[in-house]
Amino acid sequence: MREKKILPAILLLLVVFVAALPETAGAAPEPPNRPVVLVLVDGLSWEEVQREPALRSLFEEGAAAVLSTAQGGRPEAPLAAYLLLGAGSRTDTALLPRELPPEPAEAARTISARVPSVRPGSFGEALKRAGVRAAAVGTEARAVVMDRGGRVPLLYGGEEPVHELGAALAAGARFVAVAAEDPAEAGRLVEAAAGKGALVAVASPNAPPGAANLTPFAVSGRRGLLYSPSTRTAGLVAGQDVAPTLLARMGLEVPPAMQGRPAEVRPGSPEDARRLAERLSFVAEERHRTAAWALALSLLPFGAALLLLGRRAAPPCLLTLAAMPAATLPVAALPPVSPLLAAALIAGLATSTAWVLWRLAGRGLAAAAAIFLTNAGVLAVDAASGGELMRFSILGYNPAYGARFYGIGNECSAILAGSLAAGLGMLAALRRLRAVPLALIGGGAVAALGLPAMGADVGGSLALGLGLGITAGLVRGGGARAAAGWAAAGGGTAATLFAASPLLFPGASHGSRAAAGEVGLRDMALRKLEPALATLASPPLLLLLAVLSAAVWAGWQRARGTPLAAGLVGGAFTAALYAALNDSGLLAGLYALFYPAVAGLLVLSGEIKAPR
């Protein structure tokens, strides 16, 4: 029977996908017994690192990484990036004031009043509690190393940074932050600090104007790539990790107020970090252009086929679009190429995947179920691996934006949920789904999204658990009461994983730290609610909501009374939950709703029949 071919086809593709996932390994550095100097220079690029001999030597002989400087766009007030560095935390720059007072202590109070969970001065407080004498050379350096009251034991104006650095070390400072005017001066400071036997770090809190928020970062000592639990990517650290990393190098405790985590050293070279910066910059700067080309390469033939063949051409084209999210992941494993070539590869892979599954499953309902479930399975496997390919995908989260570095992003989480809910409805139309396998599928998907060691998408896992629960109850023919029971089980699973995450994976993610009470759960929820509500004011998104909802409604009317129709209802509920519980708001809901809408259109086209 055709439906018996679905699972082997899906498993074959998933095995091939898992085999392509990379592995990681690591080793932790030992704290040094010497002064630490942090050289700060705005707008540093990898090309400038190569031009300055002292900087090049530091990056080649020490531990290097790409620094994700901000969450969101470049801060309107450059001083904000330095204050966030000293806070060991980050927030969406859209929440920061456009202007800040020039005095660092006053600017810090302004930021804390706007975003209470961010506490500038935490780095200086940690140094003060440990009895470490700190010094700052320049206003920007003071913003990093001052305590919560804006005080620094040794403060220099920054008119002669090299001379003042020497004076601070001679005065007994064990930690010195010094601001450089340009890369050449940064090189001289690195050379001077190394000559005094200090451990040296170089950071660029603000990226060059117009560039992705990715800058070079290095710490002297053991050679390799820096790896942070915040990003789970060798060679990539977040701005919030700089202060914890330096505290760890001094053998000091990282305060709970800091969101960041100390970075360790793993095998690699600065060239690896530079190539990583190129790949992440491509995701940041070319994602929209590549996605537009991929859609054009798929939709233009779609339109031509409809004109020539009529509605007979709709099913293959719709299923190709349904397979496209999964197709972005293998392409993400390749080195950066032109947007047009990347789009052609994505469109070609989506087309070939849809065609192979179409032939293996025997067209019709079985083929559609295979494509939907394969798409969900590929995304779930990558999420469970920590997003090894998602971070380089044009459809995934943007690490340069800094809101997420691993796991599964809001968009693909919603796509996974929508395709899984609609796919289960199709599968239920072919054969009755048993409770145990259905529970295992749902529980595995919720875990892949929600566990801190995997996706750490708290809102997504809760929406998925509730939505899949509703879908499971409906497609099994149990009605509203069964749907409520399954939804309670799915939502309870997600909530249990969240509550248990501090015990299972302590400190592994911001969500697990919120569950442990280390950071404000209410503040985190409010920060996510604000951007979600903003999506409701977008007329294009509201228009798209109306179009997709109409497709779901029409398909439901045609298939009414069947498990397939129940899957459409479950998919619609899942989309609504994603819109309500996700900080991407309506946008995430539309990604989830796309798959029930495609299923509805397939019903209307006559390609898939709904057995009664």
CB–CB of 602/371 below 8 Å?
no
Could you give the CA distance from residue 334 to residue 214 in angstroms, rounded to a whole number?
A: 20
Angle between helix 314-332 and helix 410-430 axes, rounded to 10 deg: 130
Q: Across residues 6-24, what is the average pLDDT?
A: 44
- Pairing outcome for strands 214-219 and 63-68: antiparallel
Condensed to tens digits (0 to 9), the pLDDT of residues 396-406 reads 777 777 777 87
> In this predicted model, which residue has the larger pLDDT, 169 or 310?
169
pLDDT at 521 over 70: no
- Pairing outcome for strands 199-203 and 63-68: unpaired
> In this predicted model, which residue has the larger pLDDT, 453 or 306?
306
pLDDT-derived band at 26, boundaries 50, 70, 90:
very low
Structure tokens at 357: 């599954």
User: Which pLDDT score is estimated for 395?
Assistant: 82
Q: Of all helices (H) and strands (E), which one includes residue 395?
A: none
Say whether both 188 and 290 belong to one domain.
no
Say whether both 235 and 322 belong to one domain.
no
Say whether both 452 and 499 belong to one domain.
yes
Say whether both 358 and 441 belong to one domain.
yes
Could you give the CA distance from residue 185 to residue 524 in angstroms, rounded to a whole number?
A: 39
- Amino acid letter, 352: S
pLDDT at 22 over 60: no
Say whether both 136 and 246 belong to one domain.
yes
Could you give the CA distance from residue 74 to residue 239 in angstroms, rounded to a whole number?
A: 13
For residue 586, how many other CB atoms are within 10 A of its CB?
A: 24
Lowest mean pLDDT among 53-62, 100-109, 311-320, 355-364: 311-320
Q: Which residues contact 32 (CB under 8 A, 6 or more apart)?
A: 199, 221, 249, 250
User: Which pLDDT score is estimated for 539?
Assistant: 86
- Pairing outcome for strands 224-227 and 63-68: parallel
Say whether both 443 and 550 belong to one domain.
yes
User: Which pLDDT score is estimated for 210?
Assistant: 81
Domain hosting residue 576, numbered range: 2-22+277-605
Phi/psi at 221 (5° precision): 120, -140
User: Which pLDDT score is estimated for 479?
Assistant: 86
pLDDT at 28 over 70: no
pLDDT-derived band at 426, boundaries 50, 70, 90:
very high
Could you give the CA distance from residue 276 to residue 462 in angstroms, rounded to a whole number?
A: 32
pLDDT-derived band at 257, boundaries 50, 70, 90:
confident
User: Which pLDDT score is estimated for 29?
Assistant: 40
135 part of a folded domain: yes
Say whether both 154 and 241 belong to one domain.
yes
User: Which pLDDT score is estimated for 193?
Assistant: 95
Say whether both 413 and 537 belong to one domain.
yes
Say whether both 305 and 350 belong to one domain.
yes
Angle between helix 183-195 and helix 53-61 axes, rounded to 10 deg: 60
User: Which pLDDT score is estimated for 514?
Assistant: 52
User: Which pLDDT score is estimated for 313?
Assistant: 72
Could you give the CA distance from residue 535 to residue 106 in angstroms, rounded to a whole number?
A: 33
Could you give the CA distance from residue 574 to residue 426 in angstroms, rounded to a whole number?
A: 16
The CATH code of the domain that includes 193 is 3.40.720.10
Count of domains for the chain: 2
pTM for this model (two decimals): 0.80
31 part of a folded domain: no
Q: Across residues 459-481, what is the average pLDDT?
A: 89
Structure tokens at 115: 């975003």
Q: Where are the beta strands (DSSP E) in 18-149?
A: 36-40, 63-68, 134-137
Could you give the CA distance from residue 584 to residue 414 in angstroms, rounded to a whole number?
A: 10
Q: Across residues 10-20, what is the average pLDDT?
A: 44
Could you give the CA distance from residue 424 to residue 492 in angstroms, rounded to a whole number?
A: 21
pLDDT at 143 over 80: yes
Say whether both 370 and 469 belong to one domain.
yes
Say whether both 78 and 157 belong to one domain.
yes
User: Which pLDDT score is estimated for 37?
Assistant: 97
Condensed to tens digits (0 to 9), the pLDDT of residues 209-251 reads 888 899 999 999 999 999 998 888 899 999 999 999 999 999 9
Residue that is last in its domain, among 266, 295, 325: 266
User: Which pLDDT score is estimated for 611?
Assistant: 64
Could you give the CA distance from residue 467 to residue 483 in angstroms, rounded to a whole number?
A: 9
For residue 112, how many other CB atoms are within 10 A of its CB?
A: 17
Say whether both 56 and 158 belong to one domain.
yes
User: Which pLDDT score is estimated for 10?
Assistant: 43
Could you give the CA distance from residue 417 to residue 575 in angstroms, rounded to a whole number?
A: 8
pLDDT at 16 over 70: no
Condensed to tens digits (0 to 9), the pLDDT of residues 273-283 reads 999 999 888 88
Could you give the CA distance from residue 106 to residue 70 in angstroms, rounded to a whole number?
A: 21
pLDDT-derived band at 295, boundaries 50, 70, 90:
confident
Q: Across residues 295-305, what is the average pLDDT?
A: 81
10 part of a folded domain: yes
Could you give the CA distance from residue 37 to residue 22 in angstroms, rounded to a whole number?
A: 35
Query: Could you give the residue ranges of the DSSP H alpha helices within 505-538?
Result: 510-515, 521-534
User: Which pLDDT score is estimated for 346?
Assistant: 94
- Amino acid letter, 488: A
Residue that is last in its domain, among 236, 266, 296: 266
254 class by beta-carbon count within 10 Å (0-12 exposed, 13-18 middle, 19+ buried):
buried
pLDDT-derived band at 534, boundaries 50, 70, 90:
low
User: Which pLDDT score is estimated for 369?
Assistant: 92
CB–CB of 293/55 below 8 Å?
no
Query: Could you give the residue ranges of the DSSP H alpha helices within 505-610?
Result: 510-515, 521-534, 539-559, 563-581, 586-605
User: Which pLDDT score is estimated for 306?
Assistant: 74
Could you give the CA distance from residue 137 to residue 153 in angstroms, rounded to a whole number?
A: 11
pLDDT at 322 over 60: yes
Q: Across residues 440-464, what is the average pLDDT?
A: 77
What is Dmax (Cα atoms) for the chain?
85
Residue % of the chain over a pLDDT of 70: 87
Mean pLDDT of the chain: 85
319 part of a folded domain: yes
Residue that is last in its domain, among 222, 244, 266: 266
User: Which pLDDT score is estimated for 503?
Assistant: 61
User: Which pLDDT score is estimated for 453?
Assistant: 58
570 part of a folded domain: yes
User: Which pLDDT score is estimated for 447?
Assistant: 82
User: Which pLDDT score is estimated for 574?
Assistant: 94
User: Which pLDDT score is estimated for 601?
Assistant: 92
User: Which pLDDT score is estimated for 27?
Assistant: 38
pLDDT-derived band at 371, boundaries 50, 70, 90:
very high
611 part of a folded domain: no
User: Which pLDDT score is estimated for 271?
Assistant: 94
Q: How far is CA 480 from CA 5, 108, 359, in A?
A: 32, 52, 37
271 part of a folded domain: no
CB–CB of 567/582 below 8 Å?
no
Q: How far is CA 65 from CA 37, 273, 548, in A?
A: 17, 5, 43
272 part of a folded domain: no
Lowest mean pLDDT among 317-321, 440-444, 535-539, 592-596: 535-539
Phi/psi at 37 (5° precision): -120, 125
Q: Which residues contact 43 (CB under 8 A, 6 or more apart)?
A: 204, 206, 207, 208, 209, 215
Phi/psi at 121 (5° precision): 95, -5
Q: Across residues 180-201, what is the average pLDDT?
A: 95
For the residues of 74-119, what is the DSSP string, one character each?
Answer: --SSTHHHHHHHHHT---BGGGS-SS--SSHHHHHHHHHHH-TT--
Q: Which of 464, 429, 432 is nearest to 589 (CA)?
A: 464
CB–CB of 35/165 below 8 Å?
no
Q: Which residues contact 224 (CB under 8 A, 6 or more apart)?
A: 27, 63, 64, 265, 266, 267, 268, 269
30 class by beta-carbon count within 10 Å (0-12 exposed, 13-18 middle, 19+ buried):
exposed
pLDDT at 325 over 80: yes
Q: Across residues 517-527, what is the average pLDDT?
A: 54
Structure tokens at 287: 């994602």
